[in-house]
Structure 1
Amino acid sequence: MNPISPRLLLVRGMLAGLFAGAAAFLVAYVLGESKVDAAIALEEAASAGHDHAEEGPVSRALQATAGLGTGTLLYGVAFGGIAALVFCYALGRIGRFGPRATAALVAGGLFVTLNLVPFLKYPSNPPAVGDPDTVVTRTTLFVLMIALSVLLGVGALILGRRLAPGMGNWNASVVASLAFVAAVGIAYAFLPAVNEVPEDFPATLIWQFRLATLGIQTAMWTTFGLAFGFLAERALVPAAAPKEAVQLTS
């Protein structure tokens, strides 16, 4: 395997992130936008008879297409670069895994710590759900949950590495995973809950919106893991087979 070049892998990570952002956009447009439109329609129906807010400078149609596409692509490229740097550190340090397996593990770990764990505590809500006066508090709690999840994930990784020489890789990984789950459960118990869903808001719409949100992140990190694993392997593993074939025929 070739020496790791962070710059080389950073570019490939951002390229894979671009593919991941495109996949996230497709899922968001197909599954998520209809739920957003339905929530906006409910909000408008509930505000009938009251003063209507003027439409912003960007139309809803533009938000759902060009705005959504630009946002998801930039999001994918940014996190693709971050994930590539994490890959540079992880390769060879979390076990004897090749580039593809390491990329899959990095993508899975980032999905769990950055998206799944915070989502299970503070799930996303469609428009018209949530008190505008508590948006700062809710955002702070969500960011805090992300930070705690990342720190606990790093701690679980360190614990697994320290236990591996005496327990073996598999047993150490199981213990570290259980410790991570237990620590996350404690964080869930101590952090305040947020439930501002109106009683008359359709539960089915909320459930579908949250599944769509989780599906967007799943599509993004799955696409990134597959694409970056392929690109990283092409960059790091020399093409030895053609050279060997030439030597055998000479």
Structure 2
Amino acid sequence: MGLLERLAPHLPYMRRYARALTGEQSAGDAYVRAALEALAAGERSLPSHLTPRVALYHVFHAIWDSTGARLETRGEVDPGVGDDASRRLMRIAPRSRQAFLLTALEGFNPQEAGQILGVSLTEIEALIAEAQSEIDSELATQVLIIEDEPVIAADIEALVRELGHEVLEVAATRREAVEAVARNAPGLVLADIQLADGSSGIDAVKDILGSHDVPVIFITAFPERLLTGERPEPTFLITKPFQPETVKAAIGQALFFHPARPRNPS
């Protein structure tokens, strides 16, 4: 099997990344072609110590750097180009944008992202944090927490407020959650699965999504109840006990990539 054939499964994802990185399809595709042509001509090779996908993205960035590519800087983005997420991406500092997209969009872990960009794990984590801070400040919203354990609910509430969001209410049951949404539409829902009185956070979320287009993050000790393969599964699922940074990252990603959410009126 030839080199390009072996890389073929990864190419759609690299095109997606390149388009998000540059803010337009033609520019992104051009850099992908340049990377593939360099590999085919033997001008570049895949680092043998990296997995094929990581190595491919590493070559892409080597081509990017060698051609003197310069990402658009904040304030220079055409407001008529792309969707909301694309325009927000263009306002993030270039290096932070790369780190954020590699981890949030492409699913690389921080160590892999560091290998792709040729920087240390510490620097990658700092770049991701910088992007996260910019996202959080721009996308401040109102959050509904569905959680029946008071201590856990308090921890989640503190994390949400730390990120600059407003907590609408904390609901302990399916009924409380539905009633809370009837009073105020949230911009984000953080939901447990097993609730007080035996009701289900899954059912509460179904009720909410029936009338509101809102991103949802499940935080649960019972992930197997969601990851069944029998229905569409949640994009954002955090297992208890959770790490605060994991919750913060999921909140930023859910708000960033979801197309519709009310802004914090304050």
Instruction: Provide the TM-score with structure 2 as the length reference.
Output: 0.24
TM-score (norm 1): 0.25
Structure number, greater radius of gyration:
1
Question: Which structure exhibits the higher relative contact order, with contacts defined as CA atoms closer than 8 Å and separated by 6 or more residues?
Answer: 1
Which is richer in strand?
2
Quick check: which one's helix share is greater?
A: 1
